[in-house]
Structure formats: structure tokens, C-alpha cells
Structure 1
Amino acid sequence: MEGNFLQLSYALDTFYFLMSAVLVMWMAAGFAMLEAGLVRSKNTVEILTKNALLYSVACTMYLIVGYNVMYPGDPISAYLPDLSFFLGADNTVEAVIAGGEGAPYYSGMSDFIFQAVFAAATMSIVSGAIAERMKLWPFLVFAVVMTSVIYPMEGYWKWGGGWLDQLGFQDFAGSVVVHMAGAAAALAAVIMVGARKGKYGPNGEVHPIPGANLPMATLGMFILWMGWFGFNGGSELMVSNVDEANAVAAIFVNTNAAAAAGMIAAALLSKFMFGKTDLTMVLNGALAGLVSITAEPLAPTPGLAMFIGAIGGLIVVLSVVFMDKMKLDDPVGAISVHGTAGIWGIFAVLFSNADATFFGQLVGTVATFAWMFIASIIVLYIIDKTMGLRPTEEEEMEGMDMKECGMEAYPEFDHKS
């Protein structure tokens, strides 16, 4: 009887894990729609191609080697995993019904697919930040290295049981491990490729470059919001008993509350600062609220979750303005959403998680940023010297769609700009 119960629990938790993975995979569509909506029409096909291919590259490389780097069977040390390839066999019935501490309670394959879509999400952050001025195939070469080695290495340090986990660094679903990590790589790429032509004037002027399809960008935001329930909720890893089911429900409530509060806060600050309610700031406010709560979506009360999300929404508006002052061109605000809000979120853990320490959160954040930024700069420099990262000025003016993909997203319109 107990064996049947354990098998049923195993099946339920596995199913929950898989459905959470489906939701996170759906975030790939959200990133694609958001980015395609916030670039000019002449670069729409190229950014969609990047998003589609980066997902496939990420899943392939994570299957071949990345998962084993992040979750090594026999690590060399707390800093270095071992090196192995592909996936082993899944759990046996005998191992499941043995029960007790250490017995598997969900499929190992379900864990892989859940972690693989996280790797793809991390890479998606980079694609938005360098939109409209980084060539397709050099970007995909970077995606190969990013998802096979760079991201899995820092993931091992925390989620694979490495030195940051042993230090007590707390990051439930990835405000730093995923979001700030992706933003650090994105910042390296933005510095390497430079700003879009005409974005900044010689005297510090900032020239807005509006996106071509704000309805599409808004759809992308809502898809990401929906996918985040799987991102945070799935990270609980279990749903098969009353306590765990209640925990998942609390995570959903807090995730939603933080997103809503972040959107409202960003809208209010946008109105105060600019005299207008900037839709792009509103969209990014919700996403910043989601990033902020990701580091600890379970422990806070719903009221605290609203506060954490609202501060994230305020921070992202200020961060976008600061990025432009620094002439760091980020067409979709990815570095501000995932980086600045991710840093806030990791320290907001201190409000509700008694196991977290300021020192642990600080070391985890600095180490992750340093690794992601420095490793990305090195790889991007090599790619730039061998393949070139940026198209010619003429190709950039014409638009990357025709140069890279040979087609236009809206061929019935004349969009020469």
C-alpha cells in the first residue's frame, strides 16, 4: 500500500514539474514577442530568429554537457564540477518505493527539462539587450558557450551544491543565478557592440528609438508573467502533500502580487518623472516586480511581496534612465529589469528568510556577476576578433532582417528609417 502511495506521489510531483517546465518554456515566446515589439520593424525577423534559435541551441548544449556541469555526479571541488556528457538513466520503481531520506520523488528527466528551459531564459536576456546591432551567427556561437559552460558553472556554485550554496547564499528561483547572471552577460555584450547608430548625441542627448509593435510587446509581457508561475512555483519541486500544495499556492500569490505592484509603481513614477505614462516602463515594471520576488517567493507575506515588487518597479525606471545617461544602449531594458531588479531581489530575501545573511547574499551576487561578466567579455572578444560581432553601418541602417534573413516582417509597409 505504501509503495503505491509513493509511486502516486512520484507521478504527481513529476507531472507538476513537467507542467512547470512547459510554463517556463512558454516564456521563450514571451521574450520573443516582447523583443520583437520593442525593436524597429526592419529588425523584427532577425530578433525573432535569434529567439527561436537560441532556445534550440540552449536546450541542445544543456543536454550535451551543460546539465552535467551544473549538477555534477562527482565534482572536483566546491568550485569546479567534473565533466561528463548526456543524461543517465531515470529512477527505477525500486528506488522510488524504497522511500526514506534520499529516495527520488520526481523523475530525473523532468528535472533536466525544467533546468534546460531556465538556461534558455538566461540566454534570452542577452538577445534583447543587444537587439538591432549584433550579427546572428556570432550571437549563436556565444549562446553555445553561454549555455554549455558559463551559465552552468555559476549555477553549480549555488543550485548544484557548490561553494555559494555551502556559504549560505539564498536564491530560491534565480533572481541572481538566472536573471542577474543573464544581465551581467548582456552588459558585457552591450559594452562590446556599442550603441545603435543615432541613439546618443555628441552632447549626451538621448534620442528615443520607438519599437514597431507595442501590442506585441504587451502580449510578450503577459506571456512572461504567466510563465513566471512555472518559474517560481516549479522551483518548490513538490506539490504532493498539504504543506507543499499550500507552499505552491503561496508562491503563486506572491509572484502575482509582486508583478502587479511593480507595474503600478513604475506607472506612477513614469507619470511623475515624464508627465506621461510610458507603456514600456509599465511593462518593465511588472517584469522587474517578478524578478525581484524570484529570489524568495515563498517566505514573504503577500503584503511584503507587494512591497518587494513595488520597489523593483521603481528601481527599473530609474535604472533605465541611468543606463541611457551612461550611454549603455539596451533597447528593451533587459539589463535594468533582470540585473538591477535582480540585485534588489536577492537582498530583499533578508526581510523574510532567517537563513540568509547580508554577507552571503553579497558574496553570491558579486561572485556571480564577476564570473558572468568576465567570462562573457573574454568569449565575446574572441568571437569579435574571429567573426565580428557588429554589422557594417550600411547594413545596420538598412536593417538586419534583409542582411541576416533575407525577408521582412511587414513587407507591405515602407519602413525605411
Structure 2
Amino acid sequence: MERLALSMDAVWVMLCAVLVISMQAGFALLEAGSTRMKNAGHVAGKQLLSFSMAGLAFWAVGYGLTFGEGNRWIGTTGWFLDLPPEGDSIPLEISFLFQLSFVAVSLAIVWGGFAERAKLGVYVLFGLLYTIVIYPVVGHWIWGGGWLSELGKQDFAGSTVVHLQGGVAALVATWLLGPRIGKYNTNGTPHSLPGHNQVYTVLGVLVIWLGWFGFNPGSTLSVQDGFFGYVALTTNLAAAAGGIGALATARLRLGRADIPMMLNGVLAGLVAVTAACAFVESWAAVVIGGIAGSLTVFTAQYFERKGIDDPIYAFSVHGVAGIWGTLSTGFFASPRLVEITGVGQPGLLYGGGWTQLGVQSLGVLASAIYVAVVSFVILRLLDRWMGLRVSKEEEVMGLDLSEHGAYGYPELNSAEKM
């Protein structure tokens, strides 16, 4: 019976890995649809490029740094998955693929800040370094037995490890690259550069939402007690609340039922509940998702007014919502669920005191500072060596043609020749 149970768990985690990997298709649709037609093929194609890079770098180095035996700060064993097998756990190869899918999502978030003006070579080099020296460090602190894990930090499926890291790196890149040509008027007010295909963005979010049922429920790593079903419930509730919260906020603030804001709200709700999905009651998941959806409307507008041209609002959706979701367990973590998971302490609203909120806050602060500093250093060095941004002529032409020699939409080629 034990072998059968272990086999079922292995199949479950493998299935969830496939679901999370399928989110790459969702990000391709979302990011390509949110950008202009002349960059659509480039933006979609870099999803495969980043998944390929992450697959090799995480296999060679990243997995060992994250989950290998080491110290409180970093893993020091496990290069090329050279780790001893554990008889009572899922196979190492399946564990690797599941964790790789998370790294790939984090990289997909990062690329939103680079969109429509970064050189292809910067994608390659920063993606490799992100997978080796940024993501694994925070991952080890929280999931690999590091110092934040020892303190009892609650991050069930990655509001901090996956989303906050990706959002912060995207913000640094967006700031260093500067705004796209034509984004701001001469008086500094933002000018709309709408994406070329809203249908793509809607489909992309739906694919990502579906894939999230591998993301959060899969992090139970087991089907034996059925707890994955509860995690799926809180995940779905938060996503729904995020979409409604963002749409309502946009209607009140902008005077229109803005579809892109609604889509961002769904994603923000998913991001926020990713830390909390196994620790909070269902009503709290609705509150967490609704607040995340509303926050993303305010923060997206705020950063845009401050001159941060973030084409897919990566920091608002993943960074801000990641912060809120991580902190939320400090308020809402339920005693019964904390007992089930065995991580941390109950939240403030259940009489658990300020301890868990303090741990969550420390985790957010330490992770954000590390990612911001290392991302800044890497990108500044790349800027001095090769330059981060394409030329003005290449940006106006579009990265499909300047970087790849052909438009993603052949009709544009025909229109140029006419």
C-alpha cells in the first residue's frame, strides 16, 4: 500500500508539473497580446527561449543551490541532480520538473519588464544568471531549509519565492531600461500604448488560471489526504474575488469596466493567495484576493504616473500582490490549518500575536532587497558591456524584424512592401 500511495503522489506531482509548464502558453498569449503587433512574435518566442535556458541552468546548478544540502544561506550539493535518492519521497526527476516549472513562471514575470525594448542577448544572459544566482538563494531560504524556513515563514506555493522575486527583478529592469518610445508626452503624462490583441490576453489569463491548479494544489506533493482539494478551492475563490475587485475598482476610479484591469485583478488574486492557500479559511481567501485585485488598479496607475513603463504591470500584479499575499498569512493564518501544514504560527486575527506577521515582513524585506540589489548589479554590468536596449531605429521598426528578421504577422511584411 505504501508503494501504491507513493506512486499516486508521483503521478499527481508530475501532472501538476505539466499544468504549471502549460502556464508558459498563457504567458505567451498574455504578454504578446499586451504588446504591439510589431513585437508579438518576439515577445511570444522568448517564452520558449526562457524555458529552455531555465531548463538547462536549473538542472546543472539551480536545483542544487535551492534544495541541495548546505547551510542556512545556500545549497552546496546536487549539481546536475547528483543527490541521493530518498525512499519515502517522489522521484528526484519529478521533483526537479515540478520545481523547474516554478522557476520558468518567475522568469516569465521578469520578462514583462523588458518587453518591447530590450536586446535578445540581455534576455539570454540575465535569464541564465537569474536562474543561477537570484532565484535559488531566496528559494533556499524559504523552501530549502534556510534561515527563513527555520523561522517558520509561510509561503506555501511561492508568493515570495516565485512572484515577488519576478516582480522585483522586472521593476529593476523597467527602471534601468527606461520607458518605451512614445509612452510619455512632453509634459510627462503617460500616453496609452495598448496591446494589439485583447482576445489573446483574455485567453492567456484563462490558461494561466487553469495552470494555477497545478501551482498551488500541486504544492501539497500528495493526494493521500485530499488536502489538495481545499487548496484548489481557496485558489479559485481568490482569483474570482481578484477579478471582481479589480473590475469594480476600475469602474469607480476610471469610470469604465476596464478589461485589462480585470485580467490583472484575476492574476493578482492568484498571486496573493499562492502563499496563503493552505493556511487560511475560504472566507479569508476571498478577502485576500479582493484586496489584491483592488490594489493592482491603484498601483498600476501610480507607477505609470511615476514614469515606470511596465508593459504588463509585472510589479503591480506580481510584486505588490506577492507582498500582500505573503503578509496576509500574518493576519489570517488559521490555527487548524497551521496545525495541518506544520509551518509557522496562527495569524494576528486568531490571537496568534505579531510573531508570524513579523516573520512574513522580514521575509518580504530580505527577499526584495536581495533580488533588487543583485538584479541591479547584473543589469548594470550588462549595460556597460553590451547595452540593455536596442537602438531607436530598431525599437521603432519592432523587435520581430530587428532581432529575428521577420514579423510575427506576415501581413506587416506585405504592408511594408506596398
Residue aligning to 1:50:
46
> Does the 8 A contact of 2:66 with 2:74 survive in 1?
no
SS of the residue 2:390 aligns to: coil
Q: What is the Cα deviation at residue 204 of structure 1?
A: 2.7
Return the letter of the residue paired with 2:53.
Answer: V
Return the letter of the residue paired with 2:192.
Answer: P
Bigger mean CA deviation after superposition, 403-412 or 349-358: 349-358
Match of 1:286 among 247, 266, 276: 266
Residue aligning to 1:188:
172
Q: What is the Cα deviation at residue 394 of structure 1?
A: 1.1
> Does the 8 A contact of 1:139 with 1:389 survive in 2?
no
Bigger mean CA deviation after superposition, 51-60 or 298-307: 298-307
Residue aligning to 2:241:
261
1:109-124, aligned counterparts within 5 Å?
Answer: 109-124=93-108
Residue aligning to 1:404:
403
Residue aligning to 1:163:
147
> Does the 8 A contact of 2:42 with 2:408 survive in 1?
no
Return the letter of the residue paired with 2:72.
Answer: A
Question: Structure 1: how far apart are the matches of 2:415 and 2:372?
Answer: 36
Question: Structure 2: how far apart are the matches of 1:169 and 1:202?
Answer: 46
Deviation string, structure 1 residues 83-105 (Cα, Å, up to 9, x no partner): 552013674xxx64xxxxxxx23
Question: Structure 2: how far apart are the matches of 1:415 and 1:131?
Answer: 24
Q: What is the Cα deviation at residue 196 of structure 1?
A: 0.5
The answer to whether 1:197 aligns with 2:181 is: yes
TM-score for the superposition, normalised by structure 2? 0.92
Residue aligning to 1:352:
333
Question: Structure 1: how far apart are the matches of 2:73 and 2:83?
Answer: 26
Question: Structure 1: how far apart are the matches of 2:30 and 2:132?
Answer: 25
Question: Structure 2: how far apart are the matches of 1:237 and 1:199?
Answer: 44
> Does the 8 A contact of 2:163 with 2:322 survive in 1?
yes
Return the letter of the residue paired with 1:57.
Answer: M
Residue aligning to 1:221:
205
Return the letter of the residue paired with 2:110.
Answer: V
TM-score for the superposition, normalised by structure 1? 0.92
Q: What is the Cα deviation at residue 300 of structure 1?
A: 2.1
Percent identity, aligned pairs only? 39
Deviation string, structure 1 residues 13-50 (Cα, Å, up to 9, x no partner): 00000001001000111111100000000011111121
Match of 2:79 among 78, 82, 85: 85
1:14-163, aligned counterparts within 5 Å?
Answer: 14-73=10-69, 75=70, 77-82=71-76, 84-88=78-82, 91=85, 96=87, 104-163=88-147
Bigger mean CA deviation after superposition, 296-305 or 82-91: 82-91
SS of the residue 1:191 aligns to: helix
Match of 1:275 among 252, 255, 265: 255
The total of aligned residue pairs comes to 396
Deviation string, structure 1 residues 294-320 (Cα, Å, up to 9, x no partner): 001023222221111000100000110
SS of the residue 1:12 aligns to: helix
Seen in structure 2, the aligned counterparts of structure 1 residues 89 and 176 have a Cα distance that, compared at 3 Å, is: closer
Match of 1:9 among 1, 5, 10: 5
Match of 1:206 among 183, 187, 190: 190
Question: Structure 1: how far apart are the matches of 2:334 and 2:371?
Answer: 26
Q: What is the Cα deviation at residue 65 of structure 1?
A: 0.5
Residue aligning to 1:386:
385
Q: What is the Cα deviation at residue 137 of structure 1?
A: 1.4
> Does the 8 A contact of 1:42 with 1:415 survive in 2?
no
Q: What is the Cα deviation at residue 180 of structure 1?
A: 0.5
1:313-352, aligned counterparts within 5 Å?
Answer: 313-350=293-330, 351-352=332-333
Residue aligning to 2:394:
395
> Does the 8 A contact of 1:133 with 1:390 survive in 2?
yes
> Does the 8 A contact of 2:10 with 2:90 survive in 1?
yes
Return the letter of the residue paired with 2:46.
Answer: K
> Does the 8 A contact of 1:90 with 1:107 survive in 2?
no
> Does the 8 A contact of 1:58 with 1:116 survive in 2?
yes
SS of the residue 1:203 aligns to: coil
Return the letter of the residue paired with 2:218.
Answer: G
> Does the 8 A contact of 2:63 with 2:78 survive in 1?
no
Question: Structure 2: how far apart are the matches of 1:168 and 1:381?
Answer: 35
SS of the residue 1:139 aligns to: helix
Seen in structure 2, the aligned counterparts of structure 1 residues 353 and 163 have a Cα distance that, compared at 3 Å, is: farther
Q: What is the Cα deviation at residue 80 of structure 1?
A: 3.3
Instruction: Please report the RMSD computed on the Cα atoms of aligned residues, expressed in angstroms.
Output: 1.4
Return the letter of the residue paired with 2:186.
Answer: P
Q: What is the Cα deviation at residue 125 of structure 1?
A: 0.4
Question: Structure 2: how far apart are the matches of 1:217 and 1:37?
Answer: 5
> Does the 8 A contact of 1:78 with 1:161 survive in 2?
yes
User: Which stretches of structure 1, 4 residues or more, deviate above 6 A after TM superposition?
Assistant: none
> Does the 8 A contact of 2:13 with 2:221 survive in 1?
yes
Q: What is the Cα deviation at residue 168 of structure 1?
A: 1.9
SS of the residue 1:295 aligns to: helix
